[in-house]
């Protein structure tokens, strides 16, 4: 068992983290969306450690992170639509699902045995430096225990994991606060699998084509993205949507200038009513409120436009009935 160390993301710490990745250990690192729990994607034992540490259902494949499109040669086959989206949004908070390269070097476990692979070129400077120093594709889900609220700070990562993670690179809070938008470009038309930091409208503008919304899992189908699991991003207590006040014993998660004053534990995602700011605060606010010993979290309505789609998606899943243990 290794001991977890949280290190400020200096060049020396990044070099140490890259060496740990190459040695098959787990490293949590900042991206512009949320913190990722990384492993060498070509090392099956290292990838298996991610699943064990997260307590993650085996059918969930992982996102492979690389520093640039060129680094995908041994991993994925880029289609013309993929190249168009890549040049518009990479480096950045977009993940593309692509056909696996014929001679792919990544472990089968990384893609859970699928013939497709999710890939992303993150824009965060620390993620970029780490990926370049590592020199191998890095598999990285969000650095939270499976089903729990995603981690947007190094502290969240150390709250969720003990000794399974070797190094946490700390570079302060993540910029966007919601995960990357996932677009499946393996079929005849692009499909969105998860709402995220880049809006559907922005993506549609680049593809020119109507994008099929596949973010809601049709019953009876195997989930292809974890955002498609009904209960996800869940704090330890229940979540109630569409409330304007908190009942006794509850906390209030508010949005905008109309949030009423309350003596209950409360957070306003954005007093100004700014959806970008709200996305940044979402996961940290849920984590703070679940730690106040309330019976539930009441959530005020949030407009469904722009980044509101990603925020409401996370909140609906946080409020969804939980599978019984
Ligand atoms: O912003 C993000 O995307 C963060 C940072 C760390 O990059 N990562 C992240 O990973 O959110 P994760 O594992 O929590 O959610 C990504 C999901 C996978 O769990 C999986 O269900 C979906 O992307 N995915 C991965 N490979 C796929 C594939 N071949 N086909 C369809 N969906 C896939
Ligand atoms: Mg996740």
pLDDT tens readout for residues 83-142 = 999 999 999 999 999 999 999 999 998 998 889 999 999 999 999 999 999 999 999 999
Q: Which ligand is in closest contact with the Cα of 63?
A: 1
Percent pLDDT > 90 in the chain is 79
Which atom of ligand 1 has the smallest separation from the CA of 178? 1
| Nearest ligand by distance to the CA of 180 | 1
pLDDT class for 217, splitting at 50, 70, 90?
Answer: low
Q: Alpha carbon of 15 to those of 32, 89, 161, 164: distances in Å? A: 20, 27, 22, 20
The predicted model gives 42-57 an average pLDDT of: 90
Segment 21-32 mean pLDDT:
98
What ranges in the chain are assigned the alpha helix state H?
11-22, 44-54, 80-89, 125-134, 154-160, 200-207, 275-290, 308-319
Pocket of ligand 1 (CB under 6 A): 31, 33-34, 36, 60-63, 93, 95, 97, 111, 114, 116-118, 120, 140-142, 179-180, 182, 193, 224-226
CA of 26 to the centre of ligand 2 (A): 16
- Mean pLDDT throughout 167-177? 95
Q: Is the pLDDT of residue 1 over 60?
A: no
Q: How far is the CA of 60 from the centre of ligand 2 (A)?
A: 10
Atom of ligand 1 nearest to the CA of 144: 14
Least confident of 28-32, 38-42, 60-64, 267-271: 60-64
Instruction: Over range 157-164, report the average pLDDT.
Output: 91
User: How far is ligand 2, taken at its centre, from the CA of residue 272, in Å?
Assistant: 28
Q: Which residues pair with 254 in a beta bridge?
A: 268
Please give the pLDDT value at position 213: 86
Shortest-distance Cα residue to atom 23 of ligand 1: 225
Residue of 57, 257, 212 whose CA lies nearest to 203: 212
The closest residue, in CA terms, to atom 10 on ligand 1 is 141
Distance 293 CA to ligand 2 centre (A): 24
Contact 192, 210 (CB under 8 A): no
The answer to which of 46-55, 209-218, 238-247 has the lowest mean pLDDT is: 209-218
| Ligand number nearest to the C-alpha of 179 | 1
Q: What spacing in Å lies between the alpha carbon of 179 and ligand 2's midpoint?
A: 8
CB neighbours of 212 closer than 8 A, spacing ≥ 6? 189, 190, 191, 192
**251, burial (CB in 10 Å: exposed 0-12, middle 13-18, buried 19+):** buried
């Amino acid at each position: 068992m290794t001991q977890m160390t949280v290190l400020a993301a200096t060049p020396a710490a990044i070099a140490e983290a890259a060496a740990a990745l190459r040695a098959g250990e787990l490293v949590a690192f900042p991206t512009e969306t949320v913190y990722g729990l990384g492993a060498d994607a070509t090392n099956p034992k290292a990838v298996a450690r991610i699943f064990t540490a997260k307590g993650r259902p085996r059918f969930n494949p992982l996102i492979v992170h690389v520093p640039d499109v060129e680094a995908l040669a041994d991993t994925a086959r880029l289609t013309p639509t993929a190249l168009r989206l890549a040049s518009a949004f990479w480096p950045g908070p977009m993940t593309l699902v692509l056909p696996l390269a014929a001679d792919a070097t990544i472990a089968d476990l990384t893609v859970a045995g699928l013939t497709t692979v999710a890939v992303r070129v993150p824009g965060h400077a620390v993620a970029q430096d780490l990926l370049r120093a590592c020199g191998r594709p890095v598999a990285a889900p969000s650095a939270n225990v499976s089903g729990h609220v995603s981690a947007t700070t190094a502290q969240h990562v150390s709250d969720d994991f003990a000794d399974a993670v070797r190094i946490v690179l700390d570079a302060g809070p993540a910029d966007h606060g919601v995960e990357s938008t996932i677009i499946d470009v393996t079929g005849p038309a692009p499909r969105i699998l998860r709402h995220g930091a880049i809006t559907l409208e922005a993506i549609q503008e680049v593809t020119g084509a109507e994008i099929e919304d596949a973010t809601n899992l049709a019953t009876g189908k195997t989930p292809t993205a974890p955002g498609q699991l009904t209960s996800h991003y869940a704090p330890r207590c229940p979540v109630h949507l569409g409330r304007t006040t908190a009942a006794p014993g509850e906390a209030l998660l508010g949005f905008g200038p109309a949030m009423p004053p309350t003596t209950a534990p409360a957070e306003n995602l954005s007093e100004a009513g700014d959806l970008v700011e709200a996305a940044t605060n979402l996961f940290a606010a849920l984590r703070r409120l679940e730690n106040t010993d309330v019976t539930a979290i009441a959530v005020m309505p949030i407009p469904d436009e722009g980044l509101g789609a990603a925020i409401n998606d996370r909140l609906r899943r946080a409020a969804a009935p939980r599978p019984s243990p």
